[in-house]
Amino acid sequence: MARLQKLFRTLRRRPTASRVGLRRRTLAQPPKDWGREDELRAILVEDPNDIAAFNELVDLVRTRIREAQEHEWHVDNLRGDVPEDPRDAAERAANDAVWALSEELAGNPRAWHPLIELARLSIHEDRDGAMRRLTTAVERDHSGVALAEGIKTLREVDAPADALALGVGHWRPKEHTPEAGKQLIKAAIEAGRLAEAKRHFEALAEHPDTGYVGRVRAELEGLLGD
**Does the model's pTM come out above 0.85?**
no
Q: Are 183 and 204 in contact (CB under 8 A)?
A: no
CATH of 130-226, one of 1.10.150, 1.25.40, 3.40.190, 2.40.230: 1.25.40
Residue 225 — left, alpha, or beta (φ > 0 → left; ψ -120 to 50 → alpha)?
left
Q: Tell me, rounded to whole angstroms, the distance of Cα 107 from its chain centroid.
A: 15
Q: Are 176 and 144 in contact (CB under 8 A)?
A: yes
Average pLDDT in the 148-167 region?
96
Intervals of CATH 1.25.40 along the chain? 130-226
Specify the amino acid at residue 184: L
Can you tell me whether residue 45 is helix, strand or coil?
helix
Dihedral sign (CA 104, 109, 123, 198): negative
DSSP per residue, 48-61: TT-HHHHHHHHHHH
pLDDT of residue 189: 96
36 has a pLDDT exceeding 80: yes
Between 11 and 175, the more confident residue is 175
98, 6, 37, 150: CA torsion to nearest 10: 10
Average pLDDT in the 211-223 region?
91
pLDDT of residue 85: 61
69-78, 123-132, 194-203, 204-213 — which is least confidently predicted? 69-78
26 has a pLDDT exceeding 50: no
Average pLDDT, the chain: 83
Q: Are 31 and 13 in contact (CB under 8 A)?
A: no
- 111: which DSSP letter? -
The interaxial angle of helices 178-190 and 160-170, nearest 10 deg, is 140
Between 73 and 156, the more confident residue is 156
pLDDT of residue 69: 65
> Cα–Cα distance between 145 and 193 in angstroms, integer?
23
The C-alpha angle 109, 41, 122, rounded to 5 degrees, equals: 60
Specify the amino acid at residue 144: G
pLDDT of residue 91: 76
Dihedral sign (CA 42, 48, 53, 55): positive
20-29, 51-60, 153-162, 200-209 — which is least confidently predicted? 20-29
